[in-house]
Structure 1
Amino acid sequence: MADTARSLDPGGVRSVKSADRTITLLEYLSAAETPRSLRNVTTDLGIPRASAYALLTTLVRTGWVSTDGSGSGFQLGIRALRAGASYVEHDDVVRRAQPVMNNLSEQLGETIHLARLDGHEIVYLATCVSRHSLAVVSRPGRRLPCWATGLGKAILSQRPWEEVDALLPQTLTARTENTITSRERLRESLVEIAQRGCSIDEQESTLGLRCFAVPLRFGGAVNEALSCSVPIVRLDEARERNILALLLQARERIVG
């Protein structure tokens, strides 16, 4: 068949080219900060113009992609939002963590996050927003590099370095002047986090913000972490100790 790739994957199942292209296109649009044109799609993804146009037209018609005001820019449509919301709604870890996160948010009044490792990025699954006017919010679905976040480092600290090293990109891009971009320094940091039992993001992802995170182990590899993000202007030693104590208590309630 024309849409079936000639090569086989390790499981012996043929890859369907049209499905691969659809997934690649949706992931491309989900990562784009602005609507992308047909030329952007064909150039960035290497899809022939006629094929890209036909695919985009189909996805627009079915609601998975929408067009901007000019009609020439493409972005994710409402069907993608519904699929993402359904994923979170039915996720077992989110279901277990959400009531505990709500309680933790009430106790601390700060932003609480639940995130999962996906490749070399962490994906936010759920958020309880701070009641303060000065707050930082990462919406569910947002992705950040794992090495630049407290959540990511909490998860990585529970894995062998060889595994961590393999999933990281060749270059560790900095988000702020405080981001660790040296593999040697990151390895040392992960050892310290594993010994301490919690991770602290010292303005490594966002200036002015300190994030405290703990890994969540449900058996097997650790894939999720829970965090509390606080502007440093609202922190002192006593409050930090209280945040860490409550995070550790919340972890025990979630993982059982």
Structure 2
Amino acid sequence: MSETAGVREVKSAARTVELLELLAARADRPARLQELAAELGVPRSSMYALLQTLIARGWVRTDATGSLYGIGIRTLLTGTSYLDSDPRVRLVRPFLDEASEALGETIHLGRLDGANVVYLATRESHEYLRTISRVGRRLPAHAGALGKALLAERPDGELPEGPYEPLTANTRTTRAGLAADLAGVRARGWSTDREEGVLGITGFGFALRYDTPAQDAISCSVPVARLTPEHEARIIEVMQQTRTRIESATPGGTVDWR
């Protein structure tokens, strides 16, 4: 049994969290009892009892036959509460609105979560829809502007060994390739994602340095077909100004938790 800060992990609680994370990662692919039991290495009877407990409380849902399982509505309520209560998200949202209005493009706020970035807020362009960037979605940090902006705030020694998952033919899949890209990010002060996460989309990412190292970043996504040199320069100008204003709104790197 593992320990955290000298406190022994509660096995039943850990198993519950592992189950919910597994179901969440499957998204629209429901799982069968045997799959879940095998994946988590627990007896079918124990897994069945855990599933029934979570179904009764709304954390897991099942189909009419009772043989398929997916994430439940309670997880959505908890996630919404997280966003509503997070002081950083509350602070940044108005600035996203302003940047979106100024540029007419999609603006994001994301947070680093291990090797991934989670979208915490999105202001969609009226010119196109990009459902892959919905709030709560998690994408590999190595393949997008948000993630690369945040990885560049850390030493290259913290990068995973690789190879990394390719999302498109343009994704950097080696540690050396990613490290070279991050060196450019540090020199410029912002990251670029040129169809590395989604074909047809270019992104520009800017780390928010109100934490050290930065945990959050903002980005602007634009269809390649609409990206002229002049528009790119305008995006970088507005997003740099937006970053400065957000960081200035958090004096001393602190935010009230109220």
RMSD: 1.2
Question: Which one of the candidate residues 225, 240, 244 is aligned to 1:248?
Answer: 240
Partner of 2:59: 64
SS of the aligned residue for 1:141 comes to coil
1:1-256 correspondence runs (5 A): 7-33=1-27, 34-132=29-127, 134-137=128-131, 138-163=133-158, 165=159, 168=160, 170-256=162-248
Q: Residues 136 and 229 of structure 1 are in contact (CA less than 8 Å); yes or no, is this contact kept in structure 2?
A: no
> Where do 4+ consecutive residues of structure 1 move more than 3 Å?
none
Q: Residues 123 and 142 of structure 1 are in contact (CA less than 8 Å); yes or no, is this contact kept in structure 2?
A: yes
Name structure 1 gaps, 5 residues minimum: 1-6
Partner of 1:3: none
* Superposed displacement of residue 135, structure 1: 2.9
Report the more deviating stretch, 37-46 or 190-199: 37-46
Number of equivalenced pairs: 246
Q: Residues 123 and 144 of structure 1 are in contact (CA less than 8 Å); yes or no, is this contact kept in structure 2?
A: yes
Name structure 2 gaps, 5 residues minimum: 249-258
* Superposed displacement of residue 12, structure 1: 2.0
Residues 11/160 of structure 1: CA separation in 2 closer, same or farther (3 Å cut): same
SS of the aligned residue for 2:13 comes to helix
TM-score (norm 1): 0.93
* Superposed displacement of residue 222, structure 1: 0.7
Sequence identity percentage = 45
SS of the aligned residue for 1:246 comes to helix
In structure 1, distance between residues paired with 2:161 and 2:116:
10
Deviations 1:20-48 (A, max 9, x none): 10000000011003111111101211121
In structure 1, distance between residues paired with 2:219 and 2:169:
22
Amino acid at match of 1:128: R
In structure 2, distance between residues paired with 1:190 and 1:177:
19
TM-score (norm 2): 0.92
In structure 2, distance between residues paired with 1:10 and 1:45:
21
